[in-house]
């Protein structure tokens, strides 16, 4: 059986036809143009679905279902999207609207959740029953897989791993609380700490790389400088790893998954990041002699959204 996966983002819509193993047979994209009424966006999604089915050389009858990953929260029971800040959507009856165009079962779930699900079927955590996917980007998103299925909680507001509180009274968060995991484990956290650090250490290589303008600092610059041994960058990186490790320990102590998968922009730092996180997590583990979650880098990259959304119907 085949499945259509839709990765709905604030900028672009990506659609692919995917088989049971999570292999992509065809894929394409179109701009979201989110300022339009949602009905038009959904009509475009449906059109792209039809084109991708054609491009894959299959028929609509071969498709079991359509799955959609949304950058917001979803009520997977009613098919309504109560909130999607990125798209400016509020109480959008997504599934009903989609079915006006294509008469197939439609599943919706959060984009980080479906990306984690994709990794658990066709990526680094393939074959595991439980995993937690952490996207280390501008913010920190999460995808929980339990008993081999995505888990978004009872009201669809779970797996907001970025808003676990790891530092009560710590850094102020966009959510209104203080000390959320996101404030320590996102690219934004690296940039914030680097700006503070270069103010005290203008001699840092970070300043050279950003052309002397701290506003141009990004996470890659800081991590590259840390790799090359710049002491200021190293200090920022170490603090980042400490926060990340503390959040991972909370996940291990509560959920004890088989695998924790690191994705998102910061995970592009590869083994330099992975080795540092593993080293930092080890001494914090509660039951020292018991096995615990493996920590791995995501493998599916930008295709995870399409694959995971498609496999929601599996």
Contacts with a copy of itself, residue ranges (CB under 8 A): 73, 82-83, 128-130, 142, 144, 146-147, 151-161, 163-170, 175-177, 179, 184, 242-243, 246-247, 249-258, 283-284, 286-287, 289-293
* Kind and range of the H or E run holding 250: helix 231-255
Minimal distance, residue 192 CB to a copy of itself, in Å: 16
**Could you give the 3-state DSSP secondary structure of residue 215?**
helix
Nearer to a copy of itself, 51 or 242 (CB): 242
Minimal distance, residue 110 CB to a copy of itself, in Å: 11
Nearer to a copy of itself, 161 or 297 (CB): 161
Token pair 């291990």 is found at 252
Residues 6+ positions from 176 with CB-CB distance below 8 Å: none
- R_g over Cα of the chain: 20
Minimal distance, residue 139 CB to a copy of itself, in Å: 12
Do 304 and 9 meet the contact criterion of CB atoms below 8 Å apart? Answer: no
Do 120 and 128 meet the contact criterion of CB atoms below 8 Å apart? Answer: yes
Minimal distance, residue 256 CB to a copy of itself, in Å: 2
Q: From residue 277, how far is each of 132, 246, 250, 297 by CA, in Å?
A: 15, 10, 14, 11
Selection from 123, 125, 106, 111 nearest residue 160 by Cα: 111
Minimal distance, residue 31 CB to a copy of itself, in Å: 28
Nearer to a copy of itself, 16 or 72 (CB): 72
Nearer to a copy of itself, 168 or 302 (CB): 168
Number of Cβ atoms within 10 Å of the Cβ of 222: 32
The token duo for 241 is 């790893």
Residues 145, 130: Cα–Cα separation, whole Å: 5
Token pair 């009201």 is found at 155
Minimal distance, residue 28 CB to a copy of itself, in Å: 33
Nearer to a copy of itself, 19 or 138 (CB): 138
Nearer to a copy of itself, 131 or 204 (CB): 131
Residues 113, 149: Cα–Cα separation, whole Å: 10
Nearer to a copy of itself, 24 or 312 (CB): 312
Minimal distance, residue 82 CB to a copy of itself, in Å: 6
């Amino acid at each position: 059986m085949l499945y259509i996966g839709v990765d709905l983002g604030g900028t672009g819509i990506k659609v692919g036809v995917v088989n049971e193993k999570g292999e992509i047979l065809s894929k394409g994209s179109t701009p979201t143009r989110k300022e339009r009424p949602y009905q038009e966006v959904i009509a475009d999604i449906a059109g792209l679905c039809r084109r991708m089915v054609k491009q894959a050389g299959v028929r609509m009858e071969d498709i079991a279902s359509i799955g959609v990953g949304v950058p917001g929260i979803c009520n997977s029971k009613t098919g309504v999207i109560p909130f999607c800040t990125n798209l400016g959507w509020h109480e959008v009856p997504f599934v009903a609207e989609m079915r006006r165009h294509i008469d197939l079962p439609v599943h919706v779930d959060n984009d980080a959740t479906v990306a984690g699900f994709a990794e658990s079927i066709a990526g680094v955590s393939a074959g595991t029953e439980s995993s937690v996917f952490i996207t280390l980007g501008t913010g920190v998103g999460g995808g929980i897989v339990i008993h081999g299925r995505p888990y978004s909680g009872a009201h669809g507001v779970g797996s907001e791993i970025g808003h676990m509180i790891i530092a009560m009274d710590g850094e102020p968060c966009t959510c209104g609380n203080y000390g959320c995991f996101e404030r320590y484990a996102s690219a934004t956290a690296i940039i914030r700490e680097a700006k503070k650090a270069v103010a005290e250490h203008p001699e840092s290589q970070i300043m050279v790389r950003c052309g002397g303008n701290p506003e141009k600092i990004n996470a890659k610059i800081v991590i590259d400088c840390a790799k090359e041994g710049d002491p200021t960058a190293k200090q920022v990186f170490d603090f980042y790893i400490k926060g990340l490790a503390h959040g991972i320990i909370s996940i291990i102590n509560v959920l004890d998954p088989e695998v924790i998968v690191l994705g998102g922009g910061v995970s592009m730092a590869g083994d330099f990041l992975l080795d540092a996180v593993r080293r930092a997590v080890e001494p914090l583990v509660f039951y020292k002699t018991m096995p615990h979650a493996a920590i791995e880098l995501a493998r599916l990259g930008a295709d995870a959204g399409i694959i995971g959304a498609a496999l929601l119907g599996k």
